[in-house]
Structure 1
Amino acid sequence: MTALRYDVLGIGNAIVDVIAKAEDDFLVKQGMNKGGMALIDEQRAQAIYDAMGPATESSGGSAANTIVGCASFGARTAFVGKVKDDELGGAFAHDIRAANVAFATAPASEGPSTARCYILVTPDGERTMNTYLGAAQDLHPNDIDADAVASSSIVYLEGYLWDPPKAKEAFLKAADIAHKAGRKVALTLSDSFCVGRYRDEFLKLIRDKTVDILFANESELLSLYETSDFDTAAKALQMESRLSVVTRSEKGCAVVQGDKIELVPAAKIDRLVDATGAGDLFAAGFLVGHARGKDNVTAAKLGAIAAAEVIQHVGARPAVSLKDLAGQAGLPI
């Protein structure tokens, strides 16, 4: 077996988040589905930017946020994602490397600009996302470093990658390399609208055992099994025989494995500020715990700690050391 270099390697859309506060009527006026993610073109991206209020920019992308969270726990991490050789692309590369994440994907010299996601945060902390994929959708199988994948304990993939055809091929190539090297593959379903687009394909990934660990929130799970009842969806998930983790906001999470469903409460918070990144950071804690040999409940508690930290400030990446927070909670990594 290839020597282990990374605890977790993530593959996903390399995106710069543009975050602004907004009222619900702004979303209505702009024709946005509150709490969802819409794919937009460059013209729509410019129109939203012109209409939104004062914004802050920070590097984002679902899997990238998760990998930065893993690094904050002290894990050895790497990320694969495509940017263009432009200002935003340079900012993304700088930020992820500054977080102690290995990032070696060559930037594109031609084609669309670096991806960006316009995130509108309403007073209740809910986030509504509008994503221009730009260069991120040009992730190609050739961008997959076979040695890096084979030397990673867990390869983590985001469901959003299922939109661009070449990125989908890169996703499958990485999963194949990982399994041949005796590694595990994790998938996050990313978004209930994403599940609606690719339900049959996601179910096939689970049932073909392309995926070893599945992450979903409650709405994504309900969409996957086309039901409005959580218990019905959870029983369907049990039948898949995959390790699965379903986050349920303030209700905590359910870890599903075989005939067992373990419920783990959410970590307490002082105030919800911005829900952006909650699922991404939960996955970070669970993945690090799993990679380090922790049991499922302990891994879920680490995820809860990370999610609680990120939702108490604006932005989708941790503002303090998650490793320190875990230690303070009696869960040293």
Structure 2
Amino acid sequence: MKKVLGIGNALVDILVNVDDAMIAGCGLQKGGMSMIDAERKRALHAQLQDVPQVCATGGSTSNTIHALARLGMPAGYIGKVGNDEMGDFFRSEMERFGVTPHLILSDTDTGIATTYISADGERTFTTYLGAAAEMTANELDPDILSQYDLIHVEGYLIFNHDLILRVCQAAKAKGLLISMDMASYNLIEEHYDFVEMLLRDYVDIIFANEEEAKAFTHKEGVEALQELSKYCPVSIVKVGKEGSFIQIDGEITKVEPIKADCRDTTGAGDIYAAGFLYGYLNGLSAEETGKLASWLAARVIGYVGAKLPDEEWKQVPVKQ
């Protein structure tokens, strides 16, 4: 079976149920998202020390790699964590679910993404990137790539041009396929020329949602997909409730959406990518691959957080 390696921001996701008074007491705007520094992170977590917490590995590519491992595909992950309790947790959780961790250690704290869930279901976010943001091109060991067939690159790393370029050059030199998720339309707009170069020269499989595809191609829907196909042999544009479009070597497949109760869209795109990569690398048809990806995305939005519970994995419509 093919082996997949991921590289991205290694974060620990923390989910806490809180009341509005605690949100206000923490100085947060309900429903908002804040990037915080180490001092602010420590202060907030001191206020949460008596609140029950649910922890899981996080980061976009980490979520994709976790799901691939749950599907039974050999998988590894490159990221940077702190030499601390959260870093140990990240490593042990990866190993527990069958992922081989290739982690770089830092004296900086492990990155943490905290979700504050209010009684009415509204979510408030804080993100501390910590060690994850310190990963550099010089820390990458190209020999690791020799163990894999494809590397999935996190779009949130696009700001780090040296690192992304080093990864892509090493991957191509060793014959790996390269897949990438565009991650954010803001990043696409800010780094347009660099992203265009990556897609033109390195990326084989590109994932984008409507906004990201439009930011890059200035087109929508199938037209955006066709434009992306000029760069990458395999292109995927996710169109939310309308499903998704897949283009493989010039042939377009429309994947119909799967109806689902939506509680939280966190991780839907990440697990979609896992389903697609699993199907594509295992020789499933475009239709079968799209259905698997959509099935997983439809299931994960029924839960809070980016991970499916064990009982859902038992229902996955593929042989594992």
Structures share a fold, TM > 0.5?
yes
1:291 correspondence with 2:281: yes
Higher relative contact order (CA 8 A, sep 6+): 1
Which segment is superposed worse, 146-155 or 73-82? 146-155
Q: Read off the aligned partner of 1:193 and give its amino acid letter.
A: N
Matches within 5 A, 1:250-289: 250-269=241-260, 271-289=261-279
Query: Do the aligned partners of 2:221 and 2:239 also contact (CA within 8 Å) in 1?
Result: no
2:169 is the counterpart of 1:171 = no
Relative to the length of structure 1, the TM-score reads: 0.82
Structure 2 CA distance for aligned equivalents of residues 249 and 123 of structure 1: 26
Q: Distance in 1 between matches of 2:16 and 2:217?
A: 33
- Which consecutive residues of structure 2, in runs of 5 or more, have no partner in the other structure? none
Distance 1:123 1:179 in 2: 49
1:320 and 2:303 correspond: no
1:15 partnered with 2:11:
yes
Q: Is the 8 A contact 1:71 1:101 kept in 2?
A: yes
Change (3 A) 1:79 1:145: same
What is the identity, as a one-letter code, of the residue corresponding to 2:301?
I
1:1-333 paired onto structure 2 within 5 Å: 7-20=3-16, 30=28, 39-45=35-41, 55-108=53-106, 110=107, 112-120=108-116, 129-163=125-159, 165=160, 168-208=161-201, 210-226=202-218, 229-269=220-260, 271-320=261-310, 324-326=314-316, 329=317, 331-333=318-320
Q: Distance in 1 between matches of 2:40 and 2:216?
A: 29
| Superimposed CA distance per residue, residues 226-272 of structure 1 (whole angstroms, 9 cap, x where no aligned partner) | 45x43543342233343111222222211123543211123333x22
Alpha-carbon distance in 2 for matches of 1:248, 1:22: 32
| C-alpha contact (below 8 Å) 1:67/1:101 kept by paired residues | yes
Q: What is the percentage of aligned positions where both structures have the same residue?
A: 31
1:136-156 CA distance string (max 9 Å, x none): 112233443323312211100
Letter in 2 for 1:300: G
Change in Cα spacing, 1:218 to 1:91, as seen in structure 2 (3 Å) is same
Native 8 Å contact 1:155 1:186 kept in 2 = yes
Change (3 A) 1:151 1:254: same
Count of residue pairs brought into register by the alignment: 315
Secondary structure, aligned partner of 2:151? strand
Q: CA RMSD in A?
A: 3.2
Residue 10 to residue 315, structure 1, CA distance change in 2 (3 Å): same
Task: Indicate conservation of the 8 Å contact 1:218/1:246, yes or no.
Answer: yes
Shift of 1:129: 4.7
Please, what TM-score do these two structures have when normalized by structure 2?
0.85
Deviates more, 1:43-52 or 1:247-256: 43-52
